[in-house]
Amino acid sequence: MTTTSVLSRQRCFDGWQEVREHRSAVLDCTMRFGVYLPPQASERPCPVLYWLSGLTCTEQNFITKAGAQRYAAEHGVILVAPDTSPRGAAVPDDPAYDLGQGAGFYVNATQAPWSSHYCMFDYIVDELPQVVESSVSSSGRRGIFGHSMGGHGALVIALRRPDRYASVSAFSPIVAPSEVPWGQKALTAYLGADRVAWRAWDACEQVRLATARLPLRVDQGDADEFLQTQLQPERLEAACRAAGYPLDLRRHAGYDHSYYFIASFIGEHIAWHAAAMS
């Protein structure tokens, strides 16, 4: 069993916000993640909701900016926020913010030098839940959500592994990485130039292949500076319509890509996931 170390622990809404560290066999490096244990976790098993952050983020962005602990305590949900990529001196990196450390894109890389460490899909789907749920009082029910690059990750992971999750949602996700600059750069580096291989990591492509139907919600601000160039939620809307996949796409006037947007609606997302995981 993987050993975890508790690096910090703060009382928060009658629960505990922790940051933990462990050695990842999948990523071949040391990883950190935030875990919020609501007060109910000391009394009974609770569902676990996994948050995937966006480009440049660590576990700290979500746990310090989203204001999510209040709602997790209200609904009795354990919140887990991992880092966005493998890290360390031995882990390949790139000078740009949108590739390498901080930009794992939640794929399993097949190209050198990335393939030796960048297997974030396997880490999020298999290893991290084993690490977390062996050390907390979990009900066995899971949900997943995220923001931007992490919204892409949450959508693809849930669409490819619907057996693992009860619900999926996203804030400002990259819905079609095969068609936008952020995604094209990352997928080329991690997977190579064959666009057929990219389909496994594109939410719009995976919607067309999906046989299961999970509750799916997406929130998008119309003042998001990346809306037209990188996000393009209308592509997911069209793919879901064509596939008959139910989608609750909510557009919000005046909201941008920041954590101010996330903090404004995080309570609604947690309540929605809590109902689906009950």
pLDDT in tens, 59-107: 999 999 999 999 999 999 999 999 999 999 999 999 999 999 999 999 9
* pLDDT for residue 3 is more than 90: no
Mean pLDDT value across residues 171-188: 98
- Quote the percentage of the chain above a pLDDT of 90: 99
Among the listed residues 147, 152, 257, 269, the single catalytic one is 257
State whether residue 32 is helix, strand or coil: strand
Identify the pLDDT of residue 1: 60
Identify the pLDDT of residue 2: 73
pLDDT per residue as tens digits for the range 97-116: 999 999 999 999 999 999 99
172 half-sphere exposure, CB direction, 13 A CA radius: 27
Query: Residues with Cβ < 8 Å from 24, sequence gap 6 or more?
Result: 30, 31, 86, 123, 127
* pLDDT for residue 211 is more than 80: yes
Among the listed residues 172, 224, 269, 273, the single catalytic one is 224
Question: How far is it, in rounded angstroms, from Cα 42 to Cα 253?
Answer: 40
Catalytic (active site) residue 224:
yes
pTM of the model: 0.98
Among the listed residues 148, 167, 169, 172, the single catalytic one is 148
The residues pairing with 33 across neighbouring beta strands, listed in sequence order, are 20, 82
Question: How far is it, in rounded angstroms, from Cα 99 to Cα 115?
Answer: 13
Catalytic (active site) residue 148:
yes
pLDDT band at 208 (very low <50, low <70, confident <90, very high): very high
Tokens 């690059």 -> residue? 149
On average, the pLDDT of the chain sits at 97
Mean pLDDT value across residues 32-56: 98
Catalytic (active site) residue 202:
no
